[in-house]
Structure 1
Amino acid sequence: RTTPNVNKYRTANGVCNNRKNPLLGAANTPLARWLPSIYEDGISQPVGWNPGRLYNGVILPLVRLVSNRIVSTKDADIQADDELTHLVTFFGQWNDHDLSFTPSSPSIRSFSSGINCDASCERSEPCFPIRIPLGDPRLPSGRDSCLPMFRSAPTCGSGNSAFMFGGVPNVRQQINSLTAFLDVGQLYGSDEGFARELRDLSNDNGFLLVNDRFQDNGRDLLPFTKVASNMCSTRNHILNTTGLPEVPCFTAGDVRVDENIALTSLHTVFLREHNRLARALRLLNPHWSSETLYQEARKIMGAYHQIIVIRDYLQHIVGPEAMKRKLGTYPGYDSSIDPSIANVFATAAYRFAHVTIQPLVFRMDENFQDHPQFPSVPLYEAFFTPWRVVFEGGIDPLIRGLISRPAKLNQQNHMLVDALRERLFAFTSQIAMDLGSLNMQRSRDHALPGYNAWRRFCNLTAPQNKAELAAVLKNTNLAQRLINLYGHPANIDAWLGGVAEPFVPGGRVGPLFSCLIATQFQKIRQGDRYRDDDRFTCPGLGLYFLSQLYKVESYGIQAFS
């Protein structure tokens, strides 16, 4: 079926961005493989599925053990980043949610035995539990002690030897349910039907839906979801009270909108900006239809996003050298480039910002001091709490906190705060999760090659022993601890190796992640037929928006510098 205006406006699901190959970069297509997978059976079994399997002559360590010995830090030991604000951290999450989401298996029970993955430590597809090591400081260790994890869903027909192409097994591949483009899909949705549900079709203004029950000091809030769920019913758990009203989860183009209130605040800013743009466009063009107003506002929003990410964000992450090599002068659209999100980017490299998250979500008053009525919130009490936005001062205190308080500085001996390692989703899961362990177990689920393979991919040296690893990390003690766990540098999980590296000059990641992140965005930019920022000829609107989001100079701190 022909999609209307397919050459003038993006489709919500990214289909037809590439005219020659309409599915390149589209939603619900496989993640790209930049290196071959290393499934233990060559088809589907994740790394670590068979406990006795040797890698470079040794058994891989339990990811929770690695998290305990390498990743953990205490709040008292955290150092603030003296250059970047907390906005960098949560803008990174906002941006990530525009590019990739890998759905888990739709089943919560083993396909073969019927066991509940949430209630068993048995490895049985799709259950891939995270085993607890002996002497774990928080969790009881033993034969039946684990953190539950579900495997990512495979693309249709993959990971099954019964599906053969010319006698070659169809190796398991994971799905990206979002488009690969910088199209603000986290606001608008990556599915045509859902994108329509998020629009206000009761008038001809081209608006997105807003909340019909509550406002934020006269300003709009995100609408509530119509899907029945207890995920956001955390108020009574956290406040230890009864009888107070719960509110539903908010809804937006990405399902993770409620993961924390800082992210929710950014969703709200962009929602308001779309409607502000549509309102302004209607004044300029009263003859435009609701569809045209919506699409033109959406196009400008896409331009904002591309400018902010490429010009104002990435250079401070990957450093000026990688920007110059990979993201310098735009050479133009190239239909031969596949913009699809790489498995290693989604599963490892773009999770670098986890180690920049503070243990608090800061809330500031009009003078950028600690808010007297609504103090800063412990991060673990900010997960899935839309009621804090509704009943505790709206988004202004949160935005002020993001632009005036520092990010956490990633240090080799202080990586992941306890709120993420010991109390992740404490009020919405049966047991609090560990983000470090999840990152490494997910990499193994996706059969990502280890640290050295990705170093070679980026034309970097591949350390072969403790001395060479110590030279790469510029840290002999850390190299020794990693060798004690992994036996060989090649075995180190890609996410851990990446966040353990010293920063490149002018960046906030090491050489490996600088290469992988810059390479991915190079492909996204050159493989996108709709380069909205290159055709964006209304800089006044862009400057207006940037001044609202990044108005921090008068407080002595700049958001991205």
Structure 2
Amino acid sequence: MNFLKVSHFDALHLQSFALNKRVLTPAYDDGFNSARSKAVSGNSLPNPRTVCLKVSPPPSKPLLENSISQIYAIFGQLLIHDMSGTSASTDSSGTELDCPCGSTDSNCLPITWPSNDALLNQTCQKFARSSASFPDTNCSLAYREQLNLLSSYIDGSSIYGIDESRANELRTFSDGLLKTSSPVTEKGQTVTDGTYLPLSNDTCSSSDTDYKCFLAGEYRTSENLALVSMHTLFNREHNRIAAILKTQNPTWTDENLYQESRRINIAILQHIVYNEWLTMVVGNSSLAPSQNAEYYNGYDSIINPALSNEFSTAAFRFGHSLIRDKFSRYDSAESQLKPLNFTETVFKSDYAYDVKGQGIHSILKGIIKDNCWKFGTFGLELQNYLFAKIENNTYSATDLLATNIQRGRDHGLQPYTKYVKHCHGIDVKSYDDLKDLLSSTARTILQSVYENVDDIDLYAGGLLEKKISNTTLAAKTFSCLIMEQFADLKNGDRFYYENGPTVNQGAFTLDQLSEIKKITMACLVCNNYGLTTIPKNVFFNPSDTNPNFDCSTLESQVDLSKWTGIF
């Protein structure tokens, strides 16, 4: 139990399947349930696909960030999958709604595609509302809320599972190890050194192969192969730690080895998030861990650590715009292979078994070398071809940007201007009031699609804002909402890795904490992927200020001897 003192909201947010919180009260059309669909004038809000094509018109060439690598965005995907998951509405049998074009179900909001759309063979996009929950047993006194299927905490649930059943499914129950699979093709060829994730019973492959999906702590593990490479990283790190602890502590039981390896691995995840990853969103972060061997002890039982709707439905989805259309790949000799379209890796495992490219190792190398896509712009793969398929001679695909805009309306998020007031104290009356946040071009784009400045969707406005600096990714309003959330996650988590024994009786010793604070993402990759060189900060491309270094000279190794004899 994360809370020692359980208040009403503690009970609601203690476990998975709990309500998201809100920064601002919702803006449902009817005040409690109907998706936000009306402009200030009473007319309909602009079509999400139309907004998408105005905010981020399909680029004629790749638009890339100057120095930030693609692995940054993929790690962010692993992170949000550790904290957030939302289910779609279901029918009376419990099956997720299909929501085809023309559906009149109140929980369906299909997105009509304009008649002059570039993809003329698609007329609409299916869209089911998120499943509803009400924070009060008397639903007439409350407004529609959405459940988080996960715990909100950065607790390694994407690695280990959210409950005991999933955790047990992933364990070997021998020497504290997690299950793995062998990287072997259907023809019996070994793809690479090292292990892969265990396999599920579901098929993730093209029609002429039968490769299975990969299995980890949560249900979206095989969403793309770059994400699989991140899951594999933490699976391997757990087993690497467990093997060392076993050698140092031969009398430890399987349970001792598993739980302590898990605890260290989660602490490493938290440290990388707050020490390296978060600072690149917002610049120098006040939430960064102390570089000294000292406890934080900032836990506050009054803080509600649940994810805000604004964070999970809009602000943190800034990372969607960082995903490239193509993933580069490199073989063992560092020669470049044929790149993969992003959609070729979505719930498809085939290229994980490409012998020439060493499977996911080639993709991991690519996301380290590649720049990520430019913040605020979407590539064609995520705008026009995501989840593309042909059924009954009808083409269908998902526009992720349009989906995010529609999801914000589904969840009743207030207009962008209300969050500008919340974050920056600016009382917006006209587009000119946004000149400090939005360029003249951005204001013109929004004015061309929204009737009134108070109609702007949070996601659309946030994407077009000026970035804080050239070395940060998100802009000011998204950064504000992200920082508020990560402060709550840090200060509302009794098990946050820097907390001492006055807060968490199972805290790390100061010597152990000092070792964990040595770790970097580059160190983690070196230890588990057999690379020879890597940028000192793997989230940035190599440069004079971020040189490549030899993995064999790593100084940031965790000395696990500090865990000898603790049981």
Report TM bin, short chain. 0.7 to 0.9
Q: Which residue of the other structure, out of 90, 100, 124, is the alignment partner of 1:146?
A: 124
**Residues 57 and 269 of structure 1: CA distance in aligned 2, closer, same or farther (over 3 Å):** same
Matches of 1:483 and 1:288 in 2, distance apart? 65
Matches of 1:546 and 1:524 in 2, distance apart? 21
- Structure 1 match to 2:413: 448
1:335 aligns with 2:305: no
- Structure 1 match to 2:383: 421
List per-residue Cα deviations over 1:476-520 (Å, max 9, x = no partner): 232122112112222111111111111113421111011100110
1:524 aligns with 2:503: no
Report if the CA contact (8 A) 2:237-2:524 is conserved: no
TM-score (norm 1): 0.84
- Structure 2 match to 1:281: 245
Q: CA deviation at 1:122?
A: 2.3
1:131 aligns with 2:120: no
Q: CA deviation at 1:73?
A: 2.5
**Residues 47 and 188 of structure 1: CA distance in aligned 2, closer, same or farther (over 3 Å):** same
1:18-33 to structure 2, matched below 5 A, reads 18-20=4-6, 21-33=10-22
Report if the CA contact (8 A) 2:314-2:459 is conserved: yes
User: SS where residue 141 of structure 2 aligns?
Assistant: strand
Matches of 1:133 and 1:122 in 2, distance apart? 17
List per-residue Cα deviations over 1:203-227 (Å, max 9, x = no partner): 3x1111112684652421111113x
Matches of 2:289 and 2:265 in 1, distance apart? 22
Report if the CA contact (8 A) 2:268-2:516 is conserved: no
Q: Which residue of the other structure, out of 46, 56, 64, is the alignment partner of 1:61?
A: 46
List per-residue Cα deviations over 1:10-51 (Å, max 9, x = no partner): xxxxx4445423553421100111211111122211112xxx
Matches of 2:212 and 2:432 in 1, distance apart? 54
List per-residue Cα deviations over 1:78-131 (Å, max 9, x = no partner): 23222211111101111111110111123399x9xx997343322413211112
Matches of 1:336 and 1:220 in 2, distance apart? 43
- Structure 2 match to 1:481: 445
Report if the CA contact (8 A) 1:25-1:180 is conserved: no
Matches of 1:340 and 1:507 in 2, distance apart? 25
Q: Which residue of the other structure, out of 34, 56, 73, is the alignment partner of 1:45?
A: 34
**Residues 557 and 541 of structure 1: CA distance in aligned 2, closer, same or farther (over 3 Å):** closer
Letter in 2 for 1:24: H
Q: Which residue of the other structure, out of 298, 317, 326, is the alignment partner of 1:351?
A: 317
Report if the CA contact (8 A) 1:123-1:129 is conserved: no
List per-residue Cα deviations over 1:234-290 (Å, max 9, x = no partner): x23xxxxxxx32212111111111111100011111111111111111111122111
- Structure 1 match to 2:328: 362
1:173 aligns with 2:142: no
Unaligned runs of 5+ in 2: 185-189, 291-295, 500-507, 541-567
**Residues 397 and 470 of structure 1: CA distance in aligned 2, closer, same or farther (over 3 Å):** same
- Structure 2 match to 1:397: 362
Letter in 2 for 1:380: T
- Structure 1 match to 2:263: 299
List per-residue Cα deviations over 1:325-369 (Å, max 9, x = no partner): x55765611111111011111100000011111111121123544
Matches of 1:471 and 1:543 in 2, distance apart? 39
Report if the CA contact (8 A) 2:315-2:481 is conserved: yes
List per-residue Cα deviations over 1:439-465 (Å, max 9, x = no partner): 000111111111011111213424322
Q: Which residue of the other structure, out of 390, 399, 417, is the alignment partner of 1:434?
A: 399
- Structure 1 match to 2:538: 559
Q: CA deviation at 1:382?
A: 1.4
1:494-533 to structure 2, matched below 5 A, reads 494-505=458-469, 506-533=471-498
Unaligned runs of 5+ in 1: 1-14, 237-243
Query: Is the deviation greater in 287-296 or in 300-309?
Result: 287-296
Letter in 2 for 1:334: D
- Structure 2 match to 1:378: 341
List per-residue Cα deviations over 1:426-451 (Å, max 9, x = no partner): 25986111000000001111111110
1:193-342 to structure 2, matched below 5 A, reads 193-201=165-173, 203=174, 205-211=175-181, 214=184, 216-226=191-201, 229=202, 232-233=204-205, 235-236=206-207, 244-320=208-284, 323-324=285-286, 330=296, 332-342=298-308
What is the aligned-residue RMSD (CA, Å)?
2.7
Q: Number of aligned pairs?
A: 507
Matches of 1:510 and 1:172 in 2, distance apart? 29
Matches of 2:423 and 2:41 in 1, distance apart? 21
- Structure 1 match to 2:76: 92
List per-residue Cα deviations over 1:373-423 (Å, max 9, x = no partner): xx2201121111122113452222111112122112225xxx100000000
**Residues 337 and 290 of structure 1: CA distance in aligned 2, closer, same or farther (over 3 Å):** same
**Residues 23 and 530 of structure 1: CA distance in aligned 2, closer, same or farther (over 3 Å):** farther
Report if the CA contact (8 A) 2:135-2:142 is conserved: yes
Letter in 1 for 2:378: L
Report if the CA contact (8 A) 2:468-2:476 is conserved: yes
User: SS where residue 426 of structure 1 aligns?
Assistant: strand
1:406 aligns with 2:371: yes
User: SS where residue 401 of structure 2 aligns?
Assistant: helix
Report if the CA contact (8 A) 1:550-1:558 is conserved: no
User: SS where residue 299 of structure 2 aligns?
Assistant: coil
Matches of 1:100 and 1:193 in 2, distance apart? 19
Q: CA deviation at 1:549?
A: 3.8
User: SS where residue 339 of structure 1 aligns?
Assistant: coil
Q: Which residue of the other structure, out of 145, 155, 158, is the alignment partner of 1:183?
A: 155
- Structure 2 match to 1:105: 89
**Residues 84 and 311 of structure 1: CA distance in aligned 2, closer, same or farther (over 3 Å):** same
User: SS where residue 145 of structure 2 aligns?
Assistant: coil
**Residues 515 and 220 of structure 1: CA distance in aligned 2, closer, same or farther (over 3 Å):** same
Report if the CA contact (8 A) 1:355-1:416 is conserved: yes
**Residues 286 and 328 of structure 1: CA distance in aligned 2, closer, same or farther (over 3 Å):** closer
% identity of equivalent residues: 29
- Structure 1 match to 2:138: 164
